[in-house]
Every structure is written in structure tokens, then in C-alpha cells.
């Protein structure tokens, strides 16, 4: 069943849109467990510090990129899947899907990201 994106995922997404690389950790502390796992085709991190370091690295490679959710979330058993995209200089440079798990406290404990090979039409 499709629903709106839970606030914890909006807080996590806000970290990706934060321009100050020194201000990323508060977003992660509010949204992710201490031992959060992030896994996608390019990265695998464990823990808040490693996730922030990876995000800072990516944000340095594509400064001023805009990250956004493009669907609601399907959910079952504390797992959520939703699609996102990255815009850079007016172009969609990547789309993908995350499957994320929340712990019993409602924090993200795992994010599994999948990339689409090229931007797909929305219809």
C-alpha cells in the first residue's frame, strides 16, 4: 500500500540537501541508528560517522545537487521502498529506489539503494 514518506526519511533526505558539510551529522542523529548500514552499488558503510563521511564525499563530487523523493512509500514489516532522483544543473542525473528498514525506535537501521541505468519517464 502506498503512503506518504515517513518524517524520518524526510529528515534523512534533508541531510543530502544540506549545503554545509559540517552540519550533516545532526540530520543523521535524528534519522538513523548508531549502527546504520548504507548499501548501494557504489558504497557500503556501517555507522553514522561512515555514512556522513560518504555523504560528504558524494556532495563534494556533485555540489549543489538537489535530492528528492519522487514517489510515496510502500511499507511492510518496518521496511519501506520509495523512489528518488538527483538533479544537478537542471538535469536529472540519477534515479533510483531505496528499500529502508526502521528499528523499533523508528530510526533508520538500514538503507539499500538501487540505481536505474538511465532516467526513466515518469508515465
Domains of the chain by start residue, with CATH: 2-115 (3.10.450.50)
Nearest to 83 by CA among 13, 24, 27, 29: 13
Q: What is the mean pLDDT of residues 27-40?
A: 98
- Give the Cα separation of 88 and 43 in Å (integer): 20
State yes or no: pLDDT of 3 exceeds 90.
Answer: no
Residue that the C-alpha cell 519517464 belongs to: 121
pTM for the complete prediction? 0.89
The mean pLDDT value of the chain amounts to 93
pLDDT tens by residue, 64-110:
999 999 999 999 999 999 999 999 999 999 999 999 999 999 999 99
- Give the Cα separation of 95 and 116 in Å (integer): 6
Nearest to 43 by CA among 29, 22, 58, 62: 58
Amino acid at each position: 500500500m502506498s503512503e506518504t514518506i515517513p518524517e524520518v526519511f524526510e529528515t534523512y533526505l534533508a541531510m543530502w540537501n544540506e549545503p554545509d558539510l559540517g552540519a550533516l551529522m545532526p540530520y543523521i542523529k535524528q534519522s538513523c541508528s548508531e549502527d546504520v548500514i548504507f548499501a548501494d552499488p557504489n558504497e557500503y558503510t556501517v555507522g553514522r560517522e561512515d555514512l556522513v563521511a560518504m555523504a560528504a564525499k558524494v556532495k563534494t563530487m556533485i555540489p549543489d545537487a538537489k535530492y528528492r523523493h519522487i514517489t510515496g512509500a510502500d511499507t511492510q514489516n518496518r521496511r519501506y521502498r520509495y523512489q528518488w532522483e538527483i538533479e544537478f544543473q537542471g538535469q536529472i542525473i540519477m534515479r533510483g529506489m531505496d528499500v529502508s528498514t526502521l528499528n523499533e525506535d523508528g530510526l533508520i537501521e538500514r538503507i539499500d539503494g538501487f540505481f536505474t541505468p538511465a532516467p526513466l519517464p515518469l508515465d
